[in-house]
């Protein structure tokens, strides 16, 4: 039996380019791994690839082949020519489902690492990263962890320097948002504004030097000032109530606030651990979210516990 711990992510910068011919958008995506994470336990099974899930959101996690953990196990087995793979994967879920924190991608990355260990395959890390990119744009980062710049559709990763620990709060919404729907809304708003949404209309985004310096310096105030998410307007358009969540966290003393990825989870940067606890408590009392978690990062990627 192998248990793998895997982090969620927040995008401290999410620069979104135009819509490409393949349906994806070029990104300048600064991923940041946080300690709020899932655990995936792999155990031997003679009944093929099976899944179970525990945690407050377990009821909305698909336990069929659409789950990235199952797809990861199947992909790893196929890569090694294993004709009839057997594994039971249990997901202990803490990452909000469809929340913009790459929870499904995290479980896919964790399943790659867990099955690799259970089946004693010793797959090189570079190969695991390639398999992860086949599973989804955010899966390679869940393997890598830390802080990294993701280019292309997010899968081409460059690790970034980050000093010290940053303290975060995540406000969890009722219900998720579909990532493709949020990207479509971003395109629609760009068309409506007259700027156009194709990759020939929108400049290719790049990482913000001030944000990279704030990370390298461990400067939470500077990082808070540099937080940006090009999907935020689209997420707020689909879920206007998130504006009140962002406001509640800011009024409670957060240094900075933004929608996490495609949302609807909202992320707040705090001064220190006590500040994060206070913001989380205020958000829970505000009635603007289902719950709120204080956490920290950066932390490493998927690894055997």
Residue closer to ligand C5P (CB basis): 57 or 138: 138
Q: Does 180 bind ligand C5P (CB under 6 A)?
A: yes
The answer to the question of residue 7 lying near ligand C5P (CB under 6 A) is: no
CA torsion, points 30, 35, 41, 42, in degrees to nearest 10? 30
Packed helices 103-118 and 125-135: angle between N→C axes, nearest 10 degrees: 140
Q: How far is the CB of 274 from ligand C5P (least distance, A)?
A: 35
Quote the distance between the C-alpha of residue 15 and its chain's center: 15
248 scored as a contact of ligand C5P (CB under 6 A): no
Q: Minimum distance from CB of 187 to ligand C5P (Å)?
A: 9
* Phi, psi for residue 296 in degrees, rounded to 5: -155, 170
- Output the smallest distance, CB 17 to ligand C5P, in A: 9
Whether 30 and 210 have beta carbons less than 8 Å apart is answered as no
Site membership for ligand C5P, residue 179 (CB under 6 A): yes
- Residue choice 88, 93, 151, 153 for contact with ligand C5P (CB under 6 A): 153
Shortest distance, position 93 Cβ to ligand C5P, whole Å: 18
The answer to whether 13 and 28 are in contact (CB under 8 A) is yes
Binding ligand C5P by CB under 6 A: which of 96, 108, 146, 154? 154
Shortest spacing between CB 230 and ligand C5P, in angstroms:
11
Using the minimum distance from each CB to ligand C5P, give the nearer residue, 23 or 209. Answer: 23
**Which residues have a Cβ under 8 Å from the Cβ of 132 and sit 6 or more positions away?**
72, 108, 109, 112, 139, 140, 142, 143, 155
100: alpha, beta or left, given left = phi > 0 and alpha = psi -120 to 50? left
Quick check: 27 binds ligand C5P (CB under 6 A)? Answer: yes
Assess whether 271 carries a catalytic annotation. no
CB closer to ligand C5P out of 168 and 183: 183
The partner residues of 150 in beta bridges, in order of sequence, read 29, 157
Report if residue 194 touches ligand C5P, rule: CB under 6 A.
Answer: no
User: How far does Cα 20 stand from its chain's mean position?
Assistant: 22
Cα(250)–Cα(244) distance, integer angstroms: 10
Instruction: Give all strands (DSSP E) within 173-300, no chain letters.
Output: 228-229, 256-259, 266-270, 291-297
Please, which residue, 23 or 81, has the CB nearer to ligand C5P?
23
Check binding of 11 to ligand C5P (CB under 6 A).
no
Does 9 qualify as catalytic in the annotation? Answer: yes
265 binds ligand C5P (CB under 6 A): no
Shortest CB 183 distance to ligand C5P, Å:
4
DSSP state of 220: H
Q: Which of 116, 138, 187, 230 is catalytic?
A: 138
Residue positions annotated with a catalytic role: 9, 138
Residues contributing to the site for ligand C5P (CB under 6 A): 23-25, 27, 136-138, 153-154, 179-180, 183
């Amino acid at each position: 039996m192998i248990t793998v711990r895997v982090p969620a992510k927040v995008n401290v910068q999410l620069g979104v380019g135009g819509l490409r011919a393949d349906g994806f958008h070029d990104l300048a995506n600064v991923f940041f791994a946080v300690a709020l994470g899932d655990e995936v336990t792999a155990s031997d099974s003679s009944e093929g690839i099976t899944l179970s899930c525990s945690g407050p959101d377990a009821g909305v996690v698909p336990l069929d082949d659409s789950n990235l953990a199952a797809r990861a196990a199947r992909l790893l087995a196929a890569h090694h020519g294993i004709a009839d793979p057997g594994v039971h994967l249990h997901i202990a879920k803490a990452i909000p489902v469809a929340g913009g924190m790459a929870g499904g991608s995290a479980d896919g990355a964790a399943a790659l690492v867990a099955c690799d260990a259970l089946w004693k395959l010793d797959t090189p890390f570079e190969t695991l990263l390639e398999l992860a990119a086949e599973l989804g744009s955010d899966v390679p980062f869940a393997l890598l962890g830390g802080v990294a710049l993701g280019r292309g559709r997010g899968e081409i990763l460059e690790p970034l320097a980050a000093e010290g620990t940053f303290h975060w709060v995540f406000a969890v919404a009722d219900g998720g948002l579909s990532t493709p729907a949020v990207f479509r809304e971003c395109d629609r708003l760009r068309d409506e504004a007259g700027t156009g949404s194709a990759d020939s209309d929108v400049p290719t985004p790049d990482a913000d030097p001030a944000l990279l310096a704030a990370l390298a310096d461990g400067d939470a105030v500077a990082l808070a000032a540099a937080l940006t998410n090009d999907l935020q307007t689209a997420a707020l358009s689909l879920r206007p109530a998130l504006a009140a969540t962002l406001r509640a966290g800011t009024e409670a003393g957060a240094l900075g606030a933004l929608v996490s990825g495609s949302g609807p989870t909202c992320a707040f940067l705090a001064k220190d651990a006590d500040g994060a606890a206070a913001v989380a408590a205020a958000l829970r009392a505000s009635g603007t979210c289902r719950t709120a978690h204080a956490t920290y990062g950066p932390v490493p990627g998927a690894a055997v516990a």
